[in-house]
Amino acid sequence: MSVKYNACLELEDGSTFPGIGFGFQHTTAGEVVFNTGMVGYPETLTDPSYKGQILTCTYPLIGNYGVPKSQMIQGLEQFFESSAIHIRGLLIADYSLEYSHWQAEKALDVWLKEFEVVGLYGIDTRRLTKTLRQHGSMLGKISVADERVDFCDPNSENLVQQVSVKEPVIYGNGSKKVVLIDCGGKFNIIRSLVGRGVQVKRVPWDYDFLNEEFDGVMISNGPGDPQMCQPTVAIVRKLLEGNRPVFGICLGHQVLSLAAGAETYKMKFGHRSQNQPCLEVGTQRCYITSQNHGFAVKPTGLSSDWAPWFVNANDGSNEGIRHQTKPFMSVQFHPEATPGPMDTSHLFDRFIELL
């Protein structure tokens, strides 16, 4: 029996990958990336760091455990990392038409339709991933039926502005107050802080809170090129003149590094997985981390006041920096996980101890 393809992914180099449409059927364009995680597609698809991207899952079977029911606890979705799906398209090898999980409420196909996100299955994800590994992340477009769309580069947009909150939001009741600069932060960053007894004030990416009362600052993850976050960089640069604790995660690491004088660069195909090994500098300790980023820090521009904290054991790229004397630190990986291992969750404890 022949497969009836009705949609196609086209890369900017002219490569085509036919597939079968599911989810919301429409054309779309963005940056094509891949994630090698075996589980966690509900958390991954709701991660704002994927804004503007067409996501390829290398794990062959997706959708087999469905999608959990939306459930709000203390103003946050319990099972998702934001209140929306942020990818522009989903590419998988095999879609499970039947799902089974005690928490599942609906099929992945239904969920994608709710947020008007197109999916393709039957894609040769192995060939696609090898293409992206060889040539790097590329622009791509998904065509459905006879509809057409032009290529577009999401990294030329201010994606952080699109996913950040518009007004401050407060979570928790702790005596210690942490400002979370929301560059597209995952909900589990907030859960991880509130669960440790602090109050979190989540503020927009360009919000000037420097004259307000707070004990520490966390800079969240987020999508796109960190150079687009110059208002955030300017705020953090002023923070570094003081002594209150500052902790950056993922894009927050890049923003902190830019404020401290480092440079950032676009990686060939980035790190998007749940098994990235990171070595803590000066120790024999290696942590397995969850990661999702396409840009990285070049720490050569930092002064002697700063030191590398973590490095990636696979490619040697920088995975964290910290100040030698002040309570400033950041990591490229995700200590809040979701999805992925919780090996580095203790870094939240370290931050709280500094407050």
Q: pLDDT at residue 334 above 70?
A: yes
Show Cβ contacts of residue 179 under 8 Å, excluding neighbours closer than 6 positions.
200, 201, 203, 209, 212, 214, 216, 217, 218
DSSP string, 165-221: -SS-EEE---SSEEEEEESS--HHHHHHHHTTT-EEEEEETT---TTS--SEEEE--
pLDDT value at residue 3: 66
Residues of the chain with CATH 3.50.30.20: 7-156
Give yes or no: 334 in active site.
yes
Show Cβ contacts of residue 16 under 8 Å, excluding neighbours closer than 6 positions.
8, 9, 10
pLDDT value at residue 345: 98
Q: Please give the average per-residue pLDDT across 299-325, as a whole number.
A: 96
Give tens-digit pLDDT for 238-297.
Answer: 999 999 999 999 999 999 999 999 999 999 999 999 999 999 999 999 999 999 999 999
Q: Which of 298, 249, 291, 246 is nearest to 270 (CA)?
A: 291
What class is the 159-354 domain? alpha beta
Show Cβ contacts of residue 102 under 8 Å, excluding neighbours closer than 6 positions.
none
Q: pLDDT at residue 2 above 60?
A: no
Give yes or no: 336 in active site.
yes
Give tens-digit pLDDT for 56-82.
Answer: 999 999 999 999 999 998 889 999 999
Share of the chain above pLDDT 90, in %: 95
Q: Please give the average per-residue pLDDT across 114-125, as a whole number.
A: 97
What interhelical angle do 230-239 and 251-260 show, nearest 10? 60
* Number of Cβ within a 10 Å radius of residue 317: 20
Which residue is catalytic, options 57, 250, 271, 319? 250
Q: Please give the average per-residue pLDDT across 200-212, as a whole number.
A: 98
Judged by DSSP in three states, 18 sits in strand
Distance of alpha carbon 206 from alpha carbon 118, whole angstroms? 31
Which residue is catalytic, options 10, 81, 319, 336? 336
What class is the 7-156 domain? alpha beta
What interhelical angle do 187-194 and 346-354 show, nearest 10? 60
Residues of the chain with CATH 3.40.50.880: 159-354
Give yes or no: 250 in active site.
yes
C-beta of residue 328 within 8 angstroms of C-beta of residue 240:
yes
Two tokens at 30?
């963005």
Q: pLDDT at residue 1 above 80?
A: no
**Residue 3 identity:** V
Which secondary-structure segment (H or E) carries 42?
helix 41-45
pLDDT value at residue 297: 98
Q: Which of 173, 175, 176, 172 is nearest to 189 (CA)?
A: 172
Give tens-digit pLDDT for 12-49.
Answer: 999 999 999 999 999 999 999 999 999 999 999 999 99
What is the pLDDT confidence band of residue 5, given thresholds at 50, 70 and 90?
confident
Q: Which of 226, 83, 259 is nearest to 160 (CA)?
A: 226
Residue 310 backbone zone (phi > 0: left; psi -120 to 50: alpha; other: beta) = beta
What is the pLDDT confidence band of residue 147, given thresholds at 50, 70 and 90?
confident
C-beta of residue 19 within 8 angstroms of C-beta of residue 95:
no
Which secondary-structure segment (H or E) carries 239?
helix 230-239
